Amino acid sequence: MDFEMKTQKFRCPYCRAEITVLLDPSVPKQRYYEDCEVCCNAVEISYEFSDGKLIDFHASAEE
């Protein structure tokens, strides 16, 4: 199966800047850290795909 990368927008939990990330639907469930391109804080990204559809997405401050 061929999945297209999906772009997802969210607001940085630290500085509220709008950030766009690329999500890979071939990985059904992922959790990783993405540095905010504005304030450089690590934002915890977690998401879940089902049949190539994004069903869950969270961006939260590192604990």
Residues of this chain that interact with Zn ion (CB under 5 A) are 12, 14-15, 17, 36, 38-39
Closer to Zn ion by Cβ: residue 43 or 49:
43
Closer to Zn ion by Cβ: residue 3 or 32:
32
Write down the residue that tokens 């990330």 correspond to.
21
Cα distances (Å, whole numbers) of residue 53 to 10, 13, 33, 47, 59 = 17, 24, 21, 11, 18
- Smallest distance from Zn ion to CB 13, Å: 8
Closer to Zn ion by Cβ: residue 39 or 55:
39
Q: Which two tokens stand for residue 57?
A: 């997405």
